[in-house]
Amino acid sequence: MSDIAILKEMIKETATVALEERQEGKRLKYSVTLEEKDIYSVTIDGMPKYDEVIIIKADTFVAPRDIFNGSKGECKRADFVIITDTDKEKIILCIEMKKTKGEKKAIIKQLTGAQCFVAYCKEIGKAFWHKQNFLDTYKYSFVSIGHISLDKKKTRPERSTDTHNSPDLMLRINYSHPLQFNHLI
Whole-number average pLDDT of the chain: 89
Selected residue with higher pLDDT from 49 and 163: 49
Phi, psi at 78, each rounded to 5°:
-70, 170
**pLDDT of 150:** 45
**pLDDT level of residue 175 (50, 70, 90 thresholds):** confident
Is 45 a residue whose pLDDT tops 90? yes
The residue-averaged pLDDT of 153-157 equals 44
**Residue 42: strand, helix, or coil:** strand
Round to whole Å and give the CA distance between 123 and 125.
5
Q: How many CA atoms lie within 13 A of 82 on its CB side?
A: 27
> Using CA atoms, how far apart are residues 68 and 65, in angstroms rounded to an integer?
5
Query: So where are the chain's domains?
Result: 3-184
More confident residue, 99 or 71: 71
pTM of the full predicted structure?
A: 0.89
Per-residue pLDDT, averaged over 43-55, amounts to 95
pLDDT for the residue numbered 96: 95
Distance CA(8)–CA(2), nearest Å, equals: 10
Is 14's pLDDT higher than 90?
yes
Strand partners, 157: 173
- pLDDT reported for residue 36: 85
Q: How many CB atoms lie within 10 A of CB 146?
A: 19
Res 139 pLDDT > 90? yes
- pLDDT cut 70: percent of the chain above it: 91
Q: In this predicted model, what pLDDT tens digit does every residue of 80-99 receive, in sequence order?
A: 999 999 989 999 999 999 87
Can you list the positions of beta strands (E) in the chain? 20-24, 27-36, 40-45, 53-57, 80-85, 90-97, 139-146, 171-174, 179-180
